[in-house]
Structure 1
C-alpha cells in the first residue's frame, strides 16, 4: 500500500492555503479533522446538494460536485479502513449520472431508500441508511456532512466520536457539532482530512532508522536525523513522555529543525571522534549538537550551534507528552518560553526574532538566523528550568567538557582490533544508555517497528535485569567497571522491594520502580504508519526465569577482574541461586517475551543452570559457603535439558521441550558451556539454526507462530550468537563472513538498531539497541582471539 501511495504523490489533494484565496477552516473543525483522521475505521458520508455542490447554482439538474471535493473523496476512499458515501434526496440513477463519482464511493439515493450494492438491507430514510453503512463497515467513527434541507435527523443520530458538519447559513438550530459556511469550505475540509488521514495511515516518509544518531549525557538521550531534525527527546527521564517525537508522529509530534533557508540538502553527518557530539553539514551551514552535562537534577540542556555562511531557517514546536499537552510560546528578548508542560521549558536564543503561529491547539515558532564562522548562533533548549539568562560557562568550554568526558573515558578502554572504530562507537553507545540511577535502557526509543505497518512495536526505554547485566558486562570486558557497580546498586535496591528474589519482575523503570499499565498513544501515526505506539511494557508481569543467570555472570566477571568478591554481591548471588532453586522447573515466557502461553524453554533452563554453576564456581574460588543442593541441582538441570531439549525429528535442540520449532537462543546450550562445543548435538544445532533461521546477512530469533500477527526482521544479537557458535565449532571462515555482514548493518554514524529485514534491506526495531552493540563488541573480541 505504501508503494501505491508514494507513486501518487504528484496527484494528491493538497488543501489550498489561505493566502491562495481559499477559505480558512474554523479552529474547532481543524481539531475534529485530527480526531477523525486517527480513528481505526472511518466512514465519511455527505449530502449531495448543499454539501458537495451549492444549492444556489440555478439549474439543479446540472449541478456538479466541487472538483476539490471529488478528488478528496476519491483519495479518501482509496485509503485503507476508510469508506466514503453520498446519501442524497435525488434518485439513485440521477445521483450516479450527475456526480460521476467512482464505484468505490457508495451512493444512496431517494432520501436514503435506494442504496447501491454495498448494502443488503433496504433503509427507510437517511438516518437508517447512515446506520446501515456504519454497521456494514464497522466504523469506529462517522463524519456526516449535511448541506440541504432535511439533514437534522441524520445529524441527530451521531454519537460519541462521530462528527456532524452543517454546511451553509441556516437560521434554525442544528444538531451538528460544527458549521462551515459553504461548499468550497466543505471541499477544503475533505481535502484536509485526506492529508491527515494519509499521514496517519502511512506515516510521513520517515528517516531510515539506522541513520538516526544518538545524543546522550547519561541523564537524557535524544536522536537527531541526518538532516539535523530533532527526532526524539523525552523529559524529565528517558522513559518519560516525549517532548519531541517526530520519528513517531511527524511534525505534529514535535519539531526542532534547522536547515539552510535556500533549501539545500544535508551533505553528511558524523560524530566528533570519541564523543557523543554530532556534526551535520550542509552547503554553507554546519550544525553541532550535544547534550550538555546537567548542572542540576531534573534539567536537560540540548545545545545546537550553527556556523557557516548560509541564512538558516529554524522551526521550533515542542509537543510535550507525545503531543497530548497543548503548548503556548511566549517570545522574550533572550528566547522563547514554553507554557503548558508539566515542567518549565525555554529555548535560549538571544536576539532571534520569532514568528509565532497558533493552530487552535498548539503554538509553533519560526525564525531566520544568520550565523557566521566567527560568530555562530547558539540555540539552547533547556528542559526543567525557566531560566533564560546566559549560561555561566561559555559554549566552547561546555563543548570541551563534553568531549573530555567521553573521549577521556574511551581512552581507558581496551578495545578489540577487529572493527575497532565500530567497537568504540558501540562502547560509547552502551555507556550512553546507562543512567545515573544505575538503570540501563535496553534501547533509546519506543515503538520503532519490527515490521513496517505491523503491530510489533514495543517500548524498550526501561531497564531489564537481563539486558542491563549484559550491557554493563560488555563494558567490564573492555575495562570499565563503574557502570556495572551502578547497575548492581540498582539491582540491590530493586531486590529490597520484593519479599523474595524469585518474585523479581523482568524489567522496571530506570528509577527501579514498577511500570504503569501499558497504553497506546492514539494520536501518533507511528513510524511509517506502524501502530500502535506503545508506552509501558506488559512484559513486566511475565515469568522470565533466565534473568538470574546474566546477573550472576556479571558478578563473576567483576570478581575475577578485581580478584575479590564483595560480600553484598555474594548475597545477591545467593538470592539468585535460591530463586532458581525454587522456580527452575516452571514454564516461562522466555527471553523473547512472547505474549503466548509459557513453555519449558531450553534457553531459560540453560540460564538457570548458569546461575547455579557460576555460583558454585565463585564460592570455590573466593572461599564462600554454598548451599549443598546447588551443585547436584545444577547437574540435574543440565541432564534434563540435554535429554528433553533435544528433538530427534528436527535433529537439534529446539525452543522448548514440547515443540519442534527452532530458537537461536538455544545455541546457549553450547555458548554457556553446558555442552562441550565439540558435542555432536551442539554442532547439529548450529547447523539447524543456520539452515532454518539464517537468511543471508542476518539471523532470526525464531520462525514459529508466537500468537501475534505479522512478522519481524532478523535479530542482530542472534547474528552475534551464531558468529560465536561458528567460532566455537571451528568454522572461522563462516564467522568472519557473518561478522562482516553485521558490521555492514551499522548506520553511517556507527549505530545499530534491533533488527534487519533482508528482503527490503531496511533496519527495524528500537534504536540504538544495547543488544546489537554488545553483540558486536563480543564478536570483535572473540575474532581477535581467533585471529
Structure 2
C-alpha cells in the first residue's frame, strides 16, 4: 500500500519522490507543474506484482528482503541499501545535479541513479517505465549502444547508462559485479563517460549542499530536523523564476476518502511568504532575493492592485481545474486534479503576505538589490487594495469554495500590509507616507478589535460578528497585531485550545465546510499553536508538543500537509512547505541559546 514515507530529491528545476523500496514514484517534467512522467504514487492500489504498467522507475535486487534509506549528511542525496537473506546487497544513490560551474548554477532536468554492489553476487533488475499525458500514453522507445530515448509529443527523455541497455529495456535481471550509473534527462550526448560524469556530478552536488548547510545559522537544538526541513524547502523553489511551490504533488487527499484532493504544484503567495521568512531566520536570504524577483513581476502585472492568491510558477494566471480520468488516485482515492480553482478566489490576506514578504528588502543591507522608492510605490498599490478589502467578504485563507465571510485572518493581513508600509516609509524618511499608512493601519486595527471580538467567548472569532474559531487567529501575535500578554490574545488562545485541539494536534476549524467536517489536523496550525504557547510563557508545554509532532515525521524527517491525530499517519500533499516551515520556526523559538551551552 502506498504511503508518504517518501524521499525527496531535486535541484531547483524539478523534484522527484522515491518510495521505501527505492522506486521513483513521482516526478513531473520538465518542471514541478509538468507532466508526471513517473506517477505511480497516484496509480491506485497495488497488490503483489499487479501494479500498473507504467509510471515508475524501479531498480531492485532479485529476492530483496531488507531496505534501509538515509540522506547523505547535510545533502539532498538519498542512499538506499537493499539486501536479501543470502548475503547479497546493493546500494542506490539518487540525486539531481546541482552545483556552481562557469559562473552559474548547474541544475539540469536530470535524474542520476548510481548503483553499486555492496556484498555477495547480487542480481538486479531495472524497470524504467515512464508514461506521458498523466499516464494515458506509453512512450515511443528507441535505443542506441549506450542510451535509450523515451518520447512523446515534444518531450524526449534520454537515458544514458553503462549498464547493458538490452537488459535495461527488456527488464532482464543481470549480475551486478561493478558499479553502474544511469542519467535520465534531456536528449543530449554526454561530453565524458557515463561513470566519470555521474561520479563528478555526485561529488560536486554533495559539496554544494554541504557548503549551503554550513552557512545556515542553526539553533542549538533539533539541528538535523531543521537542516532536513531547510534543504527540502530549497528543493521546492523553482529558481528560474523565483517561485516557490506549496508542495510537489497533486491530489494526495487530506484524509481517507475525503475528496479533499488538490493540486499544490503552484505558488501561493501566502505559503511562499512563510517559506522565505523561515529561511531568513536561518540567514539564508538568497531564496528571498529570488522570490522577490517573482513577486515584483506579480505586483507589476496587477491591475488596480488586485492579486489572485496563487499563480503558476511561470507567472501563469489561468490555473483552470480539471479532473484527470487516467489516474485512479492515491490508494485509489480520487479524484486526481490538475490545476486549482483557488486562482479565481478572493482571498484578501494575500495583500498582507505580499507586503510582509517584501518588507525585509527595505531594511536588510546584506541584499545585492535592496528595495527602493520605485518598488515601495508599487507595493503601495497593494496596500491601497488591502485597505479597500479589509472589511469585504472573501473565501479566506482556508479557501472555502461556496461561502464568503469577512474573515478576521484576512482583515488581519490587510492590517499587516498597511502597518509594514508605514514602517518602511518611516525607515525611508517619507514622513507623509508614514502618516498615511499608519492612519489606515490604525483604522483597520480598530475595526478588527470591534467587529471580530466576542465578549461572550472572551476571544477573537474567525469572522466579523461571527461565533466560530479558527487557528489563523493565532497569527495575531506573530504579525505583532497584539501583544502575547494581552488578555484578549490569551483568551483567544485558550478558546482555540478548547475548540480545535485534538491530542497534541490542532485543526484549522471544527465546523462543516464544502466537504463536511474536517477529519485530520492541519500541521501548520499545530506549529502556530506551539509558537503561541511559547509567546505566552508556556514553553514547557510547547516543547513537549513540538517533540510529539517531530515524532510524526516520516522515516526521513519530512512532513505532509495533514496528520491523523489518532494514528499519526501523514495525509495531504507532500512535501508540504508550510509544515517544514513550522519545524524551523518552532526550533528557532524553542531552542536553548548557544551562549547558554557553549
TM-score normalized with structure 2 length: 0.90
Aligned counterpart, 1:61: none
Q: Does 2:135 align with 1:323?
A: yes
Aligned counterpart, 2:211: 408
Shift of 1:444: 1.0
Aligned counterpart, 2:48: none
Shift of 1:543: 0.6
Q: Does 2:62 align with 1:256?
A: no
One of 688, 705, 725 as aligned partner of 2:495: 688
Aligned counterpart, 2:349: 546
CA distance in 2, matches of 1:631, 1:700: 34
One of 700, 705, 728 as aligned partner of 2:535: 728
CA distance in 2, matches of 1:221, 1:531: 23
CA distance in 1, matches of 2:517, 2:560: 19
Give the secondary structure class of the aligned counterpart of 2:308. coil
Q: Does 2:80 align with 1:280?
A: yes
> Do the aligned residues in 2 keep the contact of 1:279 with 1:288 (CA within 8 Å)?
yes
Aligned counterpart, 1:574: 380
> Do the aligned residues in 1 keep the contact of 2:25 with 2:41 (CA within 8 Å)?
yes
Residues 148-194 of structure 1: CA deviation (Å, up to 9, x unaligned): xxxxxxxxxxxxxxxxxxxxxxxxxxxxxxxxxxxxxxxxxxxxxxx
CA distance in 1, matches of 2:26, 2:271: 22
One of 197, 215, 218 as aligned partner of 2:12: 218
One of 600, 617, 627 as aligned partner of 2:423: 617
Give the secondary structure class of the aligned counterpart of 1:589. coil
CA distance in 2, matches of 1:368, 1:569: 60
> Do the aligned residues in 2 keep the contact of 1:329 with 1:339 (CA within 8 Å)?
yes
Give the secondary structure class of the aligned counterpart of 1:494. helix
Matches within 5 A, 1:40-79: none
Structure 2's unaligned 5+ residue stretches are 45-50, 84-88
Q: Does 2:173 align with 1:368?
A: yes
CA distance in 2, matches of 1:688, 1:406: 43
> Do the aligned residues in 2 keep the contact of 1:369 with 1:377 (CA within 8 Å)?
no
Q: Does 2:279 align with 1:478?
A: no
Shift of 1:518: 0.4
CA distance in 1, matches of 2:374, 2:279: 21
Aligned counterpart, 2:47: none
CA distance in 2, matches of 1:561, 1:711: 41
> Do the aligned residues in 1 keep the contact of 2:14 with 2:31 (CA within 8 Å)?
yes
Aligned counterpart, 1:561: 364
Give the secondary structure class of the aligned counterpart of 1:263. coil
> Do the aligned residues in 2 keep the contact of 1:494 with 1:513 (CA within 8 Å)?
no
Aligned counterpart, 1:41: none
Shift of 1:486: 1.1
Bigger RCO (CA 8 Å, 6+ sep): 2
> Do the aligned residues in 2 keep the contact of 1:451 with 1:710 (CA within 8 Å)?
no
CA distance in 2, matches of 1:685, 1:747: 32
Residues 269-297 of structure 1: CA deviation (Å, up to 9, x unaligned): 11111111100111211110001249999
Aligned counterpart, 2:265: 461
TM-score normalized with structure 1 length: 0.69
Matches within 5 A, 1:264-343: 264-266=65-67, 268-283=68-83, 284-293=89-98, 299-308=108-117, 309-343=121-155
Matches within 5 A, 1:699-714: 699-709=506-516, 711-714=518-521
Aligned counterpart, 1:380: 183
Shift of 1:391: 5.2
User: How many residue pairs were aligned?
Assistant: 569
Aligned counterpart, 1:588: 394
Give the secondary structure class of the aligned counterpart of 1:400. helix
Residues 641-700 of structure 1: CA deviation (Å, up to 9, x unaligned): 112112233332121113322100011223322222122221111111111111112111
Shift of 1:759: 1.9
Aligned counterpart, 1:24: none
Q: Decide whether aligned partners of structure 1 residues 397 and 388 sit closer, same or farther in structure 2, where only a CA change above 3 A counts.
A: closer
Aligned counterpart, 2:27: 233
Q: Decide whether aligned partners of structure 1 residues 254 and 444 sit closer, same or farther in structure 2, where only a CA change above 3 A counts.
A: same
Q: Does 2:243 align with 1:439?
A: yes
CA distance in 2, matches of 1:594, 1:404: 45
CA distance in 2, matches of 1:297, 1:514: 28
Q: Decide whether aligned partners of structure 1 residues 785 and 683 sit closer, same or farther in structure 2, where only a CA change above 3 A counts.
A: farther
CA distance in 1, matches of 2:313, 2:447: 36
Structure 1's unaligned 5+ residue stretches are 1-204, 357-363
Residues 336-372 of structure 1: CA deviation (Å, up to 9, x unaligned): 221324311122123515369xxxxxxx751324334
Shift of 1:633: 1.8
Q: Decide whether aligned partners of structure 1 residues 260 and 624 sit closer, same or farther in structure 2, where only a CA change above 3 A counts.
A: same
> Do the aligned residues in 1 keep the contact of 2:324 with 2:335 (CA within 8 Å)?
yes
Give the secondary structure class of the aligned counterpart of 2:467. coil
> Do the aligned residues in 2 keep the contact of 1:549 with 1:607 (CA within 8 Å)?
yes
CA distance in 2, matches of 1:560, 1:716: 31
CA distance in 2, matches of 1:655, 1:388: 57
